[in-house]
Structures are given as C-alpha cells and as structure tokens.
Amino acid sequence: MDSLTQIVLGASVAEATLGKKIGNKAILYGAIAGTIPDLDIILKFFVDDLSATEMHRGFSHSLLFPFIIAPILGLFLKKIHQKLSNVSYLDWTKLFFFSIITHPILDAQTTWGTQLFWPLNYRIATDNIFIIDPLYTIPFLIFLIICSFQKNTSKKRKFYNNLGLIISSSYLVLTFVSKGIGLYNIQSALEKENIEYINLNTKPTFFNSILWAGQIETKDSYIFTYYSLFDKSNVVFSKAFTKNHQILNPIIENKKIKQLINISNGKYIIEKKDEKIIFWNLKLGQGGFSKNASPLIWSYEITQNNNEILVSPGKSFRENRNYKEEFNEFLYRLRGI
C-alpha cells in the first residue's frame, strides 16, 4: 500500500496496543514502525536495479521479520524511556510487533505481492485492494486524528481509534466480496463463450473496489476485460495478445531473464524489434479500457553484447499518456455499461 496508509495503519494499531499508557507517543512510534518494512528500498544503492526490484517486499515484508526486529526496537525504546516505569519491555515489543506485521499482511492484498513466507521464493498477492484506496485510508486517518486529541485514559480515545479500525477493516473484507462478484461474472462469461483458459485473475482498478480488471491466460496468449459492479451488459473480452514466450528459449537459463520472469510472476508477453527483445511485464494489468486497448504498461529491453545479456528499462505507453482522457474513460467504465 502507499506510505500514508501504512503510516496510519501502524499508528492506529500502536494506539490500540499501548495508547492508554503512553498516549500520542504510541501514535508516533506506530507511524514510524509502519514504514520500517519499506526501508528495503535502500537495496537499490547496493545491488543493480533489477535485483532491487526482485528483492522488494522480500525479507522485510515476511512474517519472520517482526519477530526479529520488534524485540530489538523494544529494547531500544525501553532504554530511551526508562522513566516510563509503567511500560515494560514486552509492551514496547508488542507495539512494534503489531505495527510492523500488519504492513506485509496488508501489502499481500495488493497486486505486487509479498514474500510473507520468506525465504520461500513465493509471493502472496490476493489482488483485492488497489495500492491507494481512499475508502480504506480516510476512516483510519479521520478517527486517528480525533483520537489524538483525547486524554490517554478517556474512553472516547479508545472508541474513536477502534471505530477507525473497524470501519477500514470492514471495508477490506468487502473488497474480497466485490472481487468475488467480479471473478464470478467474468468466469461465467468465459464459460458461456467457450473460452478455454489456464488462469483467471482479477485486480482492482484505480482507487476503488467497484471496477475490476480481468486478466485471462490461455495456452498461447492473454486476453483482458473489465467488470464493474454497475454493469448491466455482457462482459466483453479484448483481442488475444500472443505470449511469444518461445523467443526467450535460447536465453531462458540466464540469471537476468529468470529475474524478469520472477518479477512478473510468470505473466509476460515477448516482442522482438530489430535486435532487441521486449519483455512486457503484465503484473500491473492492461493499459486503457477499450476492447482493443494495449496490455503493454511495463517493459524491459533485452539485448546481447558479446554473449552478455543486458537488461534495461524499456518504453511504455505511460510515457505519452493523456491523463484527462484516461481518467474520463475510467469514470465512464466505472459507472457501468
């Protein structure tokens, strides 16, 4: 999720854990703890960009990480705040543990996915919430602000913070329901049109859980669609986009190629232009909302130089995008057809 959401989530969880004893200090330390897993971005200063991208949301986003880092941070805070005799080392540890572990659990519900079970090289991605969703974040933020103005021992403080947690968590549950409805309707349309497929995935579009993007993998291609909860007409599928995976066969064992495939979760399209191989990562979904819109959003260019495989960021349709037009298309499709 975006940084603001993780900050508010961490702060709210910390408040629920230790707010009665230390007041707004819990909110402050929880906000800091909520961002700690994302410090893995510093990897880009020590490894190449491709490796940093592959390692993002790895160890620091695992279920193991809080068990290691929380006791260390708890000890550090206990020494800093020795005068707070009513707050034990265990209290500080719990504050950091719960504020940190909720971060990867939430991130695992977005498109990028999270290595919750690191060191296993498998990413959990339930794709039920967009990385920025105001309906999830705003209740947290509003009630946390109100909470911060209440006295430590006030029942209202606990009430407002819990209310924010309950509302946002309830919305999170509803995103699974909404995703299920979209999945069911797209699946039904595939069966009705006798389209054989290997895998079907749905993911939320910008800032909402009403309009869902469907990505369907067949034997040798990908097709795409959208489904809004307000739709009244039949589901319409895009044209087929050929995988062309065989183009990579001569270099499939190369480390960088394996990294590209891993980053894309195995969902990619290959093109060959002149001496370059274009690797289109489909993890972020389709670009545009029309039937024949391009699925090409995120790409890498693969070249060979003296038998060495070189990988560099490629061009995408986003470089020349018309934001106003795209937003209008999005609103039109969100309202249903």
Give CA–CA dist 91/258, Å, rounded.
44
pLDDT the model gives residue 252: 94
In whole angstroms, how large is the CA radius of gyration of the chain? Answer: 23
pLDDT digits (tens, 9 = 90+) for 97-139: 999 999 999 999 998 889 999 999 888 999 999 999 999 999 9
Q: Domain locations in the chain? A: 3-175, 193-337
Q: What percent of the chain is modeled with pLDDT above 90?
A: 75
Average pLDDT, the chain: 92
Over 90: is that where the pLDDT of 149 sits? yes
**Which of 161-165, 245-249, 319-323 bottoms out in mean pLDDT, i.e. has the lowest?**
319-323
CA 253 to CA 257: how far, in whole Å? 7
Write the DSSP assignment of 239-301 as a string of letters.
Answer: --EE--GGGGGGGTTSHHHHHHHHHTTT-EEEEEETTEEEEEE-TT--SSSSTT-----EEEE
pLDDT, tens digit (0-9, with 9 covering 90-100), for 41-91: 898 888 888 888 888 999 999 999 999 999 999 999 999 999 998 999 999
- Per-residue model confidence (pLDDT) at position 304: 86
